[in-house]
């Protein structure tokens, strides 16, 4: 990630004054303070994509104006066995832009990202939540993310909520021309440059005023700029496919479900007994759905491809549980057999 790191270093000197100050609050335009609880001073995201992995270098600085803005200034980064997060530095600056604290690695929480509905998950999360008795102050994050087994490159959306304004943000996507990356732009337009066999797409934002929340407001996602990104060639372990269009993507998903709807012999016998005295199709469907309700419960186990591929029908019958797609596949198996 030499390119990404060099851009971060360049940006660092751009924001540093001769007096050794970073992000003085006095440099924020008054218009960006209106209706704002916090202000994103800089959000630099450099994403390099190859055929097999993606590497990202991010630098983000947020000026916190009050306690409510402090909640939006926290850092929460998810990762699993196919991704890695390295937090290089977290620094806090006072209102004049002078550094007052460097956060130690021991102050960053790292724990399993279990949800209440999950029995087990490989996902983990790194969290840092700033707290200060004095406002305003600025917090700066520098971290890197590496990914493999790519299915999605995620979404870039610098303004994540109401009452957040933005001074400057830039996303730079770099990849070989032969490695196609699909992206969808909302409320923003990028600039593309090709040098040799390298394509670079850059999106920039400047001075976005905070949007004040109102009763019955639409989702903030409909109002602010964002970019969704996805590799055209998707792969996860032995499963490889194309996301060039919906038909190709559907074929990849179909392969994940292939041969996972066979019932165990004991399960088949129970199905026959459930529907043996029912003549009409709708009655059989209702009976099998009730059979599903009476004999299974929702439990999620997220291991590897488990977030995309359903547990096979035989295993659901044996254990009596599955997540949404596993139970859907199981009901499909019951209906198919019947």
Domain end among 207, 231, 255:
231
41 lies in the same domain as 177: yes
Asked if residue 238 belongs to a domain, the reply is: no
10 lies in the same domain as 102: yes
Give pLDDT < 50 ranges for the chain.
Answer: 1-15, 17-19
289 lies in the same domain as 210: no
User: How far is 228 from 40, CA to CA, in rounded Å?
Assistant: 20
Asked if residue 70 belongs to a domain, the reply is: yes
What CATH number does the domain containing 297 carry? 3.10.620.30
Asked if residue 246 belongs to a domain, the reply is: no
User: How far is 278 from 186, CA to CA, in rounded Å?
Assistant: 52
| Strand 191-195 to 198-208 pairing | antiparallel
Asked if residue 96 belongs to a domain, the reply is: yes
pLDDT value at position 7?
Answer: 45
202 lies in the same domain as 310: no
pLDDT value at position 119?
Answer: 65
283 lies in the same domain as 189: no
Number of domains in the chain: 2
Asked if residue 251 belongs to a domain, the reply is: no
pLDDT value at position 51?
Answer: 86
**To 5 degrees, how large is the angle CA 288–CA 289–CA 290?**
90
pLDDT value at position 118?
Answer: 65
pTM, two decimal places:
0.84
Nearest residue to 325 (alpha-carbon basis) of 333, 18, 225, 220: 333
Asked if residue 115 belongs to a domain, the reply is: yes
Asked if residue 61 belongs to a domain, the reply is: yes
pLDDT value at position 92?
Answer: 97
pLDDT value at position 112?
Answer: 83
Instruction: Tell me if 167 sits within 8 A of 217, measured CB to CB.
Output: no
Give the domain extent around 167: 2-231
For 62, 124, 169, 199, 275, the CA distances from 152, given in Å and listed in that order, are 27, 18, 22, 19, 43
Q: C-alpha 107: how far from its chain's center?
A: 23
Tell me the pLDDT tens digit for each residue of 44-75: 999 999 988 999 999 999 999 999 999 999 99
pLDDT value at position 20?
Answer: 53
Q: Identify the bridge partners of residue 141 per DSSP, sorted by sequence position.
A: 60, 90
Report the b/e string of 46-59 with b at 16+ CB within 10 A.
bbbbeeeebbbbbb
29 lies in the same domain as 171: yes
């Amino acid at each position: 990630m030499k390119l990404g790191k060099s851009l971060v270093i360049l940006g660092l000197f751009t924001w540093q004054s001769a007096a050794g100050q970073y992000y003085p609050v006095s440099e924020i335009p008054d218009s960006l303070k209106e209706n704002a609880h916090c202000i994103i001073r800089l959000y630099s995201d450099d994403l390099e994509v190859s055929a097999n992995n993606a590497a990202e270098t991010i630098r983000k600085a947020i000026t916190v104006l009050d306690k409510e803005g402090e909640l939006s200034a926290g850092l929460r980064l998810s990762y699993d066995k196919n991704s890695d997060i390295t937090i290089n530095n977290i620094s806090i600056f006072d209102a004049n832009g002078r550094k007052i604290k460097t956060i130690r690695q021991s102050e960053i929480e790292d724990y399993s990202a279990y949800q209440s509905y999950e029995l087990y998950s490989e996902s983990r999360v790194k969290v840092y939540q700033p707290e200060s008795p004095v406002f305003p102050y600025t917090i700066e994050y520098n971290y890197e993310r590496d990914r493999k087994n790519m299915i999605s490159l995620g979404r870039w959306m610098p303004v994540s909520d109401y009452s957040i304004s933005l001074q400057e943000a830039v996303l730079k996507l770099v990849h070989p021309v032969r490695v196609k990356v699909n992206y969808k732009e909302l409320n923003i337009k990028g600039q593309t440059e090709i040098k040799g066999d390298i394509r670079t797409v850059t999106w920039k934002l400047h001075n976005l005023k905070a949007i004040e929340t109102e009763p019955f407001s639409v989702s903030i996602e409909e109002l602010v700029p964002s970019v969704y990104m996805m590799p055209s060639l998707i792969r996860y372990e032995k499963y490889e496919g194309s996301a060039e269009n919906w038909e190709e993507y559907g074929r990849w998903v179909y392969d994940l479900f292939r041969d996972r709807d066979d019932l165990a012999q004991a399960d088949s016998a129970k199905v026959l007994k459930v529907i043996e005295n029912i003549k009409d199709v709708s009655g059989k469907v209702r009976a099998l759905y009730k059979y599903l309700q009476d004999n299974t419960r929702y439990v999620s186990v997220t291991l590897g491809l488990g977030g995309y591929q359903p547990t096979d029908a035989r295993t659901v019958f044996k254990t009596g549980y599955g997540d949404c797609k596993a139970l859907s596949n199981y009901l499909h198996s019951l209906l198919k057999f019947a």
